[in-house]
Amino acid sequence: MNKKILTFLILVWATNQTVSQPDSTPSGAPGIGETLYTDAKIAAASGDQERTQVHLELAKAEELLWKNNLLLLASKFNIDARKAGIEQAGLYANPNIFVDQSIFAEPTQRYFDFTRSGQTVVQIQQVFLLGGKIDKRVRVAELSAKMSEQEFYDLARALITKLRRTFYFIHYYRDAIAFYDKSLIALEKTVNSAELAHKRRAVLQSEVLRLKALLFFLRKEREDLRIKVLEKEADLRVLLNEDTYKNQAVAIVPVLDLDFVEKASMEGLKLDNMLAKAREYRPDLKKAVQALRYEEANLELQHANAIPDLAFGPMYNRGGTAFQNYWGITAQLNIPIFDRNQGNIKAAEKSIQVRKQELKNLILEVENDVSVALATAKAKDDLYRKFRNTYTKDYADLAEDMILSYEKRYISILEFADFFETYRSSIVEMLRLQTDRMEAIEGVNYSVGTGLIVPSYKSNGESGGAKEGGSK
């Protein structure tokens, strides 16, 4: 009787674990992860029974990122600060006013005599920047502002990639936790039945201990996954900086476009085209080019700084010369004998060489990044497509044979537990492969600097297939 009960429980467990083939589901239907749990089970799967679930679409998340992310806001302020430097660089020097007033006039024995009997000197000078210094300063400031803009887009590229990867991570790891929860329920029933059978001497104690060890192992793995999900949710809260998701009592449930995820393919990607797009779109590469132009403009400015500036203006002297009222013109010009700005010019020349080498090195890095990202994405995608239709389905079919084998006493509970652990590993590894695949796809987008494989966000908020060049 106990054997029949135990067999029935195992049969219930195996039936719950059966996963339908993707080919038998309509386009856009849930895949492996979606068949493992429903919305009602999400809370239990993530330990969120007491947390409020808030569903979040990727399009909405990206919108909140651009709007609220504090690092992006700080980077925007940095751009404004650099642009203010352009205005400052274009300003003329202020005129200089010099006043010399005698303290004590001896002929009149009066202090601070401002009359004709005292002495007063007034001089006004305006500095004229020669050598086109103002235009060159403006050029340097403009390039500095452009560099800050590329820094902003490079930061945005990194944050969007992190957001999408976090999104996929939470989604698939929630699937994995859901699978663990269902497995734990079945295994706990099996352990309880085995303990009852052991008391009646129908099952060896070693087999019961083996099942308990497996149960402990599954619980520990499940908690490890839940902690990772909580950590990723914390990252998501920082990225979005939205009041709706800041509360720790809120469980963020990502909503993916499963049709896009399923149809995302690397078939149309060519390395040469990707490299061309990377040279066009990569903000760090653009910044390196701007940095080289900045140093070239700075060299021109340093040459201009070697040219002395002219200070010119009128002067009035009352009672301090042979004439009672003396009007004159003053001019001041430094003679470049010792200081001809040689050091700054040499430093600017060397800086150009530094930027050239850095640019060449960055181009090599970009080429290798694109090549590796494409190879990684293709490998992950090929592996996923090779096993998605048969891998887990074969294990599900084999589970029925294992039940029959146990029912006929061909295998022991220990052997069945070994199969259970293998089946568990296959499901979890497939979910991890899906996570790795989507992260690799985002790696392609990141390496190129634009969205080659991204959902097309429609006006109604839904997502469609992949599009090219769709993200910044």
pLDDT of residue 279: 94
pLDDT for res 163: 96
pTM for the model:
0.79
Crossing angle of helices 391-407 and 2-17, in 10° steps, is: 170
> Over pLDDT 70: what percentage of the chain?
79
Question: Which residues form the domain of 86?
Answer: 52-319+353-448
User: Would you say residue 183 lies in a domain?
Assistant: yes
Least confidently predicted of 18-27, 55-64, 187-196, 379-388: 18-27
CATH number of the domain to which 230 belongs = 1.20.1600.10
Q: Give me the chain's average pLDDT, please.
A: 81
- Please check whether residue 455 is in contact with residue 461, taking contact to mean a CB–CB distance below 8 angstroms: no
Per-residue pLDDT band for 48 (boundaries 50, 70, 90) equals low
- % pLDDT > 90, the chain: 50
Asked whether residue 218 is domain-assigned, the answer is yes
In a domain, 343, yes or no: no
**Does residue 163 fall inside a structural domain?**
yes
What is the model's pLDDT at position 404? Answer: 64
| DSSP per residue, 429-443 | HHHHHHHHHHHHHHH
Question: Does 222 reside within a domain?
Answer: yes
In a domain, 42, yes or no: no
On the question of pLDDT at 26 being above 70, the answer is no
In order of 27, 349, 415, 419, the CA distances from 411 in angstroms are: 40, 79, 6, 11
Neighbours of 167 (CB within 10 A): 24
pLDDT tens-digit readout, 387-446 = 876 656 666 566 667 656 755 567 776 677 777 777 778 888 888 999 999 999 999 999
pLDDT tens-digit profile of 52-97?
A: 888 999 999 999 999 999 999 999 999 999 999 999 999 999 999 9
φ and ψ at 117, to 5 degrees? -80, -20
pLDDT > 90? residue 8: no
Count: domains in the chain: 1
pLDDT of residue 46: 46
Instruction: Give a yes or no: residue 249 inside a domain.
Output: yes
- pLDDT for the residue 403: 58
Residue 44 lies in a domain: no
